[in-house]
Amino acid sequence: MREYQIEPSQLRPHPSNNNWTQPKSYGVWELPHGASGKKYRYGNNPIRGIELENEFGRVSLIALYTNRDAAKAHSDELNA
């Protein structure tokens, strides 16, 4: 599923909502050391990244995808 992986430079803001991207994107983030639960999380980019930063402080974007299932698979693989 890595064929759905994209670079941040391939994204642009959605014209009607700055919390969305074109194309729609899904990120995989690494939580800081010591965070409880799964160390890697995924979700809508950039909204999920903002939520994780608010909850855990600094988080690292690992990868971006245009396919939600590909982002979930990558997160699950990293958490295994």
State pTM to two decimals. 0.91
Is the bond preceding residue 15 a cis peptide, omega within 30 degrees?
no
How confident is residue 10, by pLDDT bands cut at 50, 70 and 90? Answer: very high
- Say how far residue 24 (Cα) sits from the centre of its chain: 11
CA angle 32, 58, 40 (to 5 degrees): 45
- What pLDDT shows up at residue 1? 63
pLDDT (tens digit per residue) in 46-76: 999 999 999 999 999 999 999 999 999 999 9
